[in-house]
Structure 1
Amino acid sequence: MKGKKRFKFSLSSAAIIAILSSIVLPTSIYAADENGEDFSLTIMHMNDTHARVEPLPNMVTAVKEVREQKPDALLFNAGDVFSGTLYFNQFQGQADLALLNMMDIDAMTFGNHEFDLGSSENGHASLSKFIEGANFPFVSANVDLSADPFASGRVSNTFTEEAQDSTVYDGMVKEVNGEKIGIFGLTTEETLMTSSPVDAQITNYKAEAERAVASFEEMGIDKIVAITHLGYDSNPAVGNDLMLAEQVDGIDVIVGGHSHTQLNEPTVVTTDENGAAKDPTVIVQAYQYAQYLGELDVNFNEQGVVTGSSGHLIDVTQKQADPEALNTLSNYKSEVDAVSNQETGAIAQKPLTNPRLTDSNVSVRANETELGNLITDAMLVKAQEKMPEVSIAMQNGGGIRAAIDQGPITVGEVITVLPFGNDPAVVQLTGDEIKQILEYSVRLAPEESGGFLQVSGMKFAYDSTKEAGSRIVSMQVKTGEEYVDISPDKSYYVTTNNFTAKGGDGYEVFAQAYADGRVQDLGEIDWEQFRDYMVEDLKGVVNPVIEGRITDLLGADPEPIEPPVEEPNEEDPVTPDPNEETPDPDDGNDQEENPGDKPQEDPKDDNNPTDEDKNNQDDKDSTPPPSSQNNEGNGSNSGGSIVKVSDDKTSPAYSGSKLPNTATNMYTYMLAGAVLLAAGVVIFIFKRKKAKA
């Protein structure tokens, strides 16, 4: 099995014992040391606060309470302080920093969103200011800011035992109760695609982690913590915490972020990527938005191998806000409150309701809504700006939280509609997977479900009277100005929020796609996408309508698409029966116009569900053409194939044109032949009578 890399010294009895102990099964390794605990370390951790400044006074209280019980506890921040609320738009990290500085953080790593402003006019000036004002150090072994014109002066690309605040290191050493802890950071390489690192260099996580472990071991350190912003189980193409634990030997604890994963208790990895036993690696992550403070207790034996751990998440919303922190927050909150009332520049042409079945016949969680269409249109357009191949957008109805009043739309309204600040993502799905997703979306219809999906770039019809799981009747994706059937085996790129993309609301298909590495973060914030779409793409004129994107057939058969008119074939002429009477146009037996006699018109009113149903047919030739239908009861001779032509345009035989010349000529020839035959018979009889006489 894999174990800690050992230092250069002669084999002592302790070393021999260590070697022998490394042979036992992982379950034995991860048991308490028979001689008692050699060293216990407490780690507090937080991640992905995303400018949620207002819960931070509660976080300050939670941190203080832990330290009252465990004064030597360390506190790590796994990144993504930047982006998500008006606090960031207004103060670009300074409001957060004022409160973080009250927590005595021991180290922080960079999240991908820390680089969001890199391509702006001022580049990483805000990030540099954040670093300079921090009363804690930063660590990231695979991020190099030394070429950045703003932050370069704060960079020391070393592994140091004398870390200073306001400085970025590859790694650092922290001493706790006489034991040295090696601490390094890692940031996802996905940052290169989802954010704007510009002059920041971001290198391979695995190679840099191996370098960090080797550096600490050379320094004689055998207890190593990685603070990562890779994601617990995120895109394997760029690495994640589970992969890091399996691939890089020597890491004892991974304090993670990026995937917003709620690990209520630690995950312990005891096998490598090949399934072979290895020393345990403990992984923790504390969800998102400053809702939780993680607390981990981890035990090490004399050789620096983890022998046990326990951990949990502290719900900070249940804590009283720290008074001093509240006072600090007030300096920023008043300005943010004022900004929330500012107009975005977009104007709602009518009220955009967010109905629920408690006060309406329709619901955002059970029906297509105007606001749902607006939000998903924004998602689709903004996703296509980064990935043109994206063709569909999906938004869970439970994530749309408020209505928009008619008139000028304020920043506060936008954030109230989409208050979670979710990261939009793109998921690669097959047509069959999309069908499974839609089946799950409508499984409870017409009852409400928070997972009911509003959509853009596609439309679908379902039947809520059918059994759940077998309700989808048709589904099309918009291609140009037309809708075409979604093919089960074809791949499609779908944008949704990261909550849904990871399987939120119970979407197993999305969860599997996430596990397969088919989910890519776009590096955006949903409410900002929404605001920018209304202002930039709609030019401020906001007037969405119901378009029939989602249709519940309610047990009715979808209307067939009418086949085109079949013109008479000159090679198979229709010959009139001279003995056939012309049917009375007022005869009660006459049928209404045959659906097949008139070409299907392209519906112009997208709000008409009947027209929508017509466009949702997979088989356009489901209705037999008139020439193949039985003509009994429509004036035909039941014993022959001759149909009387009528001027009655409601008659099934009416074609809108005169009888072909070939039929007319044939009639003339037959009549002349009959006359000649009759004359011949008369002459023959006359001659016979004359001969007998």
Structure 2
Amino acid sequence: MNLTDTFRTRVVLLHSNDIHSRLEHAAKIASFIAEERRTYGSDLVLAVDCGDHMDRMRVETEGSDGIVNVELLNDAGYEVITLGNNEGLTYSFQTIAEAYVNRANFAVVCANMHDSATGEQPEWMLPSTIIDKNGLRIGIIGVTAAFSEFYSLLGWQVTDPFEAVQAQAAQLRDYVDVLVVMSHLGLSSDRLMAEKLEGIDLILGAHTHHLLEEPIVIGSTTICAAGKFGEYIGRVEIGIDPISASPVFRAVCVHTAAMAEHPGAAAIIGSYHEAGQRRLSRIIARLAAPLPARAERESPLGNLLAAGLRRWTDAEIGIVNTGQLLGGLAQGDVTAGELHALCPSPINPCLMTITGNDIKTALEQALLPEFIHKPIKGYGFRGEVLGTLAVDGLSVTYDATRPPMSRLIAVYVNGDPLEDERLYTLGTIDMFSFKAGYESLANAVQLKFYLPEFIRDVIAAQLQSASALIECRQLRWHNESI
């Protein structure tokens, strides 16, 4: 309906999503929430977060196992949150529970996550909740993307989000004035939910980082979303139509760049930064010689990681893109903080069964500048460019002067020629299974994922092996044109 000056604001709903531990932006959002409460009163303002507030790329989050994010949400006065894949998939079941239990001052709502051991939700999580604001009963359902194969490795059973929303909506609809879904599913799923499911008034979206500066209206459902990284905060004024008694919405996204950081939030960030640095200062290894890393060509640290993935997964071959490494390691002590800084991606080891032909395609692409220098975002990747491929268990001879995709002369797997049609076991990273970067590696006929280990854990294990530190300096790629 057309909103006019007669629109009466009953509640101001503030929503954030996909902050990914951009903690300074979270501090700015806290200032905005505080100002809205000063203007309208706490009884009229409701703040919620739609997931992926945590991201282990930040020292504060890594060093506190996500507790800094919980403290920032508490300090800003959030009342309801849901979990994104960065909360649910980058921590063990027990670690994520410890971040919220007896610490969160807000409701954690996610209808499609259950403890695999019991089939029930853990005590610290609810499928939905009802918040009373200014006499308006607001039902809130949370759902997250159903990466079932990954979640099962961490002790979670993740069910169909649409079925979970439909079940909760049926229970809540008669008892609330406004029914809201906090969706960490992505825009295409949000649209489909609005089209297929009845009784939903408002969907607050996340996961695909979409910014809706104007809401999408499908039938009687309004969809809003506030982008990524806390660059915006969503603001929805909720009113009730006096004739139909249905909720009406006036929604915008507010840019946070010019906002000041909330002093309380800034103090929390500073405190956890110092604590995180202390925790990550533990020494992992002591190197007798440096381990350089280069994105555009073979280097020892890339080889060490490829060998580690092969060893971790007990595979015939190891392959990883060199862009995963943001720097090398100097001679001397290597700390956990250094490994975190050079390899911040929450990417997991993966065992693939894949044909030699698909491996060969990726090796050909790894010789091309358009792949080596390709910018890449998402899929857990926290680097800048894709990089070439670091390998282990392979010896690759090529001629750089030949035409693209015809540069390989010979490829050997542990001394035997690579066979196009043969299936090989490949230790690599989960990112490739999502058809990201070297897309032929997504053609694997079988996959096994390793969670919650990250590839920096693989590097840490390799640094303990004297033989691995020697072998990583041996060349795998041989250019016949030189």
TM-score (norm 2): 0.73
Cα distance change, pair 435–535 in 1 and its aligned pair in 2 (3 A): closer
Match of 2:452 among 524, 539, 542: 524
Q: What SS does structure 1 have at the residue aligned with 2:264?
A: helix
Determine the C-alpha separation between the residues in 2 that align with 1:110 and 1:405: 38
In 1, Cα distance between the equivalents of 2:137 and 2:231?
A: 27
Asked whether 1:282 is paired with 2:223, we answer yes
Which residue of 2 is the match for residue 370 of structure 1? 300
- Match of residue 542 from structure 1: 469
User: Any residues of structure 2 matched to 1:401-416 within 5 Å, and which?
Assistant: 401-416=326-341
Unmatched segments (≥5 aa) in structure 2 = 375-384
Q: How many residues align?
A: 461
- 1:76 pairs with 2:41: no
CA drift of 1:228 comes to 3.8
Determine if contact 2:190/2:223 at 8 Å carries over to the other structure: no
- The match for 1:456 is 391
Once the two structures are superposed, residues 406-453 of structure 1 have per-residue CA deviations (whole angstroms, 9 ceiling, x without a partner) of 123111221121134445667887666555555554332899663222
Give, in whole Å, the separation in 1 of the partners of 2:180 and 2:160.
Answer: 18
Structure 1 position 470 matched with structure 2 position 405: yes
What one-letter code is carried by the residue in structure 2 that aligns with 1:181? Answer: I
Q: Does 1:209 align with 2:134?
A: no
Asked if the contact 2:226–2:232 (Cα under 8 Å) also holds between the matched residues in 1, the reply is no
Distance 2:416 2:318 in 1: 12
1:51-450 equivalent positions in 2, closer than 5 A: 56-61=26-31, 63-64=33-34, 72=45, 74-79=47-52, 81=54, 87=60, 90-111=63-84, 113-114=87-88, 123=94, 127-128=97-98, 130-144=100-114, 155=123, 168-175=125-132, 179-190=136-147, 193-194=150-151, 197-198=154-155, 202-219=158-175, 221=177, 223-230=178-185, 244=193, 248-256=197-205, 261-265=208-212, 282=223, 284=225, 286-287=227-228, 290=229, 292-295=231-234, 297=236, 302=241, 314=255, 320-344=260-284, 346-354=285-293, 364-382=294-312, 384=313, 391-397=317-323, 399-422=324-347, 434=359, 437-444=362-369, 450=385
* Secondary structure at 1:217 match in 2: helix
Q: Structure 1 residues 413, 106: closer, same or farther in 2, change over 3 A? A: same
Question: Partner letter of residue 142 of structure 1?
Answer: N
Answer 1 or 2: higher relative contact order, Cα 8 Å, separation at least 6.
2
- Within 1, Cα distance between the matches of 2:476 and 2:136? 62
- Partners in 2 of 1:420 and 1:175 — Cα distance? 40
| Inter-CA distance 34–170: structure 2 relative to 1 (3 Å threshold) | closer
Distance 1:425 1:244, change over 3 A: farther
How far has the Cα of 1:171 moved from its partner? 0.8
Distance 1:305 1:489, change over 3 A: farther
State which structure, 1 or 2, has the greater radius of gyration over its C-alpha atoms: 1
CA separation of 1:389/1:135 partners in 2, compared to 1, >3 Å: closer, same or farther? same
Paired with 1:138 and 1:145, the residues of 2 have a C-alpha distance of: 15
DSSP-derived class of the 2:295 partner: coil
Q: CA deviation at 1:107?
A: 0.8
Residue identity opposite 1:337 in structure 2: Q
SS at match of 1:394: strand
Q: How has the CA–CA distance of structure 1 residues 425 and 490 changed in structure 2, closer, same or farther, with 3 Å as cutoff?
A: closer
Query: What displacement does 1:211 show?
Result: 0.2
* CA deviation after TM superposition for structure 1 residue 136, in Å: 1.1
What SS class does the counterpart of residue 126 from structure 2 fall into?
strand
Q: In structure 1, list runs of 5 or more residues that go unmatched.
A: 1-31, 156-166, 234-239, 272-277, 355-363, 557-693
Is the alpha carbon distance of 1:439 and 1:378 closer, same or farther for their aligned partners in structure 2, counting shifts above 3 Å? same
Q: Secondary structure at the match of 1:341?
A: coil
SS of alignment partner, residue 224 of structure 1: strand
SS at match of 2:48: strand
AA aligned to 1:94 is I
Question: Does the C-alpha gap of structure 1 residues 177 and 335 become closer, same or farther in structure 2, counting only changes over 3 Å?
Answer: closer
Secondary structure of the equivalent of 1:408?
Answer: strand
Deviation at 1:91, TM superposition (A): 3.4
Larger fraction in strand = 2
Percent sequence identity over aligned pairs: 16
Change (3 A) 1:553 1:230: farther
- For the structure 1 residues 521 and 230, does the alpha-carbon distance in structure 2 shift closer, same or farther, using more than 3 Å as the test? farther
Question: Amino acid of the residue matched to residue 125 of structure 2?
Answer: V
1:269-299 Cα offsets, whole Å, 9 max, x none, are 888xxxxxx6556263744xx5545425488
Cα separation, 2, equivalents of 1:305 and 1:431: 60
Are the counterparts in 2 of residues 118 and 196 from structure 1 also a CA contact under 8 Å?
Answer: no
DSSP 3-state at the match of 1:101: helix
Alignment CA distance shift 1:145-1:487 (3 Å): closer
Give the root-mean-square deviation of aligned CA atoms.
Answer: 4.8
Deviation (angstroms), 1:370? 0.8
Gap change, CA 1:351 and 1:544, over 3 Å in 2: farther
SS of the equivalent of 1:186 reads strand
Residues 250 and 425 (structure 1), Cα distance of their counterparts in 2 relative to 1, 3 Å cut: farther
In structure 2, C-alpha distance between the alignment counterparts of 1:400 and 1:107, rounded to whole Å = 36
**1:436·1:509 contact (CA, 8 Å) conserved in 2?**
no
